[in-house]
């Protein structure tokens, strides 16, 4: 029985681990939305559950393992996020276990599993005191803060860097060197003196003048 089921899973493009532990890798199940594959998945899960109802522990283990990614995808679709997804998966598997006698193998398995997962996801969201976030709720969608950079933020930074580079390039050589080494590369006065062959006093004067010139030119540019 299980061999036939395993063959079905392989035919559906699933990876089966060899050995006594018939673990099924379903990481690709979510990517495969083809009707044929889904039908095969339905049939396989239904057959595994039918065997599990008869007391076949290996089939049951394969079924529950195959359900893990499916259940967590269903929980996410219900609006559960973060670690709560794992809690829903645990609750849903416990309910699947309790309710396994109520499954009729003549009917599709996924709606049965989805009903259980949705109920457990709603329970979890209610317990957390939150309402499920509807993806089609425009107000909630607008109010959702985006932690990433704002649009155009990179372009502004790029513009500022380019303006600074232009202003620095326009400085006389001595001042430019002082800004580049002391200001931008953050070298010490001694290191810069050794690098450029200028005295430390001259470098200080150059840096002072350069900053003054930059302030003037950048202020002018902004205006």
Instruction: Provide the binding-site residues for other proteins, judged by CB under 8 A.
Output: 52-58, 60-61, 64-65, 68, 72, 86, 89-90, 93-95, 97-105, 107-108, 111-116, 119, 123
Calpha distance 180→2 (Å, rounded): 72
Q: Where do we find the tokens 């283990």? A: 61
Cα separation values, 110 from 44, 103, 161, 220, Å: 11, 11, 55, 67
Calpha distance 66→68 (Å, rounded): 6
Q: Where do we find the tokens 């996020």? A: 81
Cβ proximity of 1 and 59 under 8 Å: yes
Nearer CB in complex with other proteins: 105/174: 105
Nearer CB in complex with other proteins: 64/211: 64
Q: Please, what's the b/e burial string for 138-164 (b: 16 or more CB within 10 A of its CB; e: otherwise)?
A: eeeeeeeeeeeeeeeeeeeeeeeeeeb
Nearer CB in complex with other proteins: 53/217: 53
Nearer CB in complex with other proteins: 126/208: 126
Could you tell me the smallest distance in angstroms from the CB atom of residue 18 to other proteins? 18
Could you tell me the smallest distance in angstroms from the CB atom of residue 35 to other proteins? 19
Could you tell me the smallest distance in angstroms from the CB atom of residue 128 to other proteins? 16
Could you tell me the smallest distance in angstroms from the CB atom of residue 20 to other proteins? 12
Cβ proximity of 55 and 48 under 8 Å: no
Calpha distance 101→95 (Å, rounded): 11
Could you tell me the smallest distance in angstroms from the CB atom of residue 94 to other proteins? 8
Calpha distance 157→155 (Å, rounded): 5
Could you tell me the smallest distance in angstroms from the CB atom of residue 138 to other proteins? 27
Nearer CB in complex with other proteins: 10/90: 90
The continuous run of DSSP H or E covering 25 comes out as strand 24-25
């Amino acid at each position: 029985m299980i061999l036939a089921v395993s063959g079905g899973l392989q035919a559906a493009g699933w990876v089966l681990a060899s050995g006594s532990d018939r673990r099924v890798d379903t990481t690709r199940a979510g990517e495969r939305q083809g009707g044929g594959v889904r039908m095969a998945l339905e049939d396989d899960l239904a057959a595994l559950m039918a065997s599990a109802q008869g007391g076949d522990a290996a089939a049951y283990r394969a079924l529950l393992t195959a359900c893990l990614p499916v259940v967590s995808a269903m929980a996410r679709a219900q609006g559960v996020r973060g670690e709560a997804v794992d809690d829903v998966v645990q609750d849903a598997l416990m309910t699947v276990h309790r309710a396994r006698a109520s499954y009729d193998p003549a009917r599709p398995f996924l709606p049965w599993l989805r009903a259980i997962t949705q109920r457990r996801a709603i329970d979890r969201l209610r317990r957390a005191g939150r309402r499920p976030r509807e993806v089609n709720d425009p107000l909630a969608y607008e109010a959702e803060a985006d932690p990433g950079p704002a649009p155009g933020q990179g372009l502004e930074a790029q513009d500022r860097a380019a303006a600074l580079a232009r202003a620095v390039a326009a400085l006389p050589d001595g001042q430019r060197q002082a800004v580049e080494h002391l200001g931008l590369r953050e070298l010490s006065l001694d290191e810069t003196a050794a690098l450029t062959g200028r005295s430390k006093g001259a470098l200080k004067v150059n840096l002072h003048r350069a900053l003054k010139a930059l302030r003037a030119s950048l202020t002018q540019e902004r205006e």
